[in-house]
Homo-oligomer: A and B are copies of this chain.
Amino acid sequence: MLTRSEREKHLGQRGKVLWFTGLSGAGKSTLAIQLERELFARGFFAQVLDGDNIRMGLNQGLGFSEADRKENIRRIAEVSKLFCQAGVVTLCAFVSPTRDMRALAQSIIGAEDFLEIYVSTPLDICEQRDVKGLYQKAREGALPGFTGINAPYEAPEHPWLEIPTQRMNVGQSIEEILAALLPYIRGV
């Protein structure tokens, strides 16, 4: 079987998983999608995994019980691991609100491949943006267990990187992530 390092050599990069965590509306997917584009422009091969390509597919049918939320993260982490082992720079954007969930993801992916980015946009700003109208629904009681409103978000204690989008625009955020990331993925 082809080894990971043969695959990485072919792509001219090292595989890693960037795990974006933060509240709904914090900007995780926006950053992941923009980062993917910037990585391609620099010759890297990357793949975003987020609600859009996971929830309706692989994780179809999973609900919001404790067990289902954990299974949701477990499958995402397993798929991320497959991509990472294939040599791909994998960009995961999921709320993943608890330390336990993220510890599970890290244990599946492997600590050396798991780079946690805390998108630390505060709740009031996420709620003001409310791009998908979810905060309003949650305030109206239509979304029980919605993170930040009626379920806790546990901030990472020692994230690999923190991106406070209330103080940095997308361009600045991407620059900061790239500066931190490139030493990890280049030079095979």
Residues of A within 8 A of B (CB): 1-2, 6-7, 10-11, 33, 36-37, 40, 45, 47-49, 53, 57-58, 75, 78-79, 81-83, 85-86, 88, 108
Contact = CB atoms under 8 A, between A and B. Distances in A.
Contact of A82 (B40, B57, B85): B57
Contacts of A82: 47, 49, 53, 57-58, 79, 83
Given A2-B36, A86-B88, 7 more contacts: A1-B36, A1-B48, A7-B45, A11-B45, A58-B78, A75-B75, A83-B86
Nearest to A11: B45
Contacts of A86: 47, 83, 88
Nearest to A52: B1
Q: How many copies does the complex hold?
A: 2
Contacts of A47: 82, 86
Contacts of A10: 40, 45
26 contacts: A1-B33, A1-B48, A2-B36, A2-B37, A2-B40, A2-B48, A7-B45, A10-B40, A11-B45, A45-B45, A47-B86, A49-B82, A53-B82, A53-B85, A57-B81, A58-B75, A58-B78, A58-B79, A58-B82, A75-B75, A79-B79, A79-B82, A82-B83, A83-B83, A83-B86, A86-B88
A47 B2 CA distance: 9
The 7 closest A-B pairs by CB, nearest first: A58-B78, A57-B78, A47-B86, A1-B33, A2-B36, A79-B79, A2-B37
A2 B40 CA distance: 9
A73 to B, nearest CB: 13
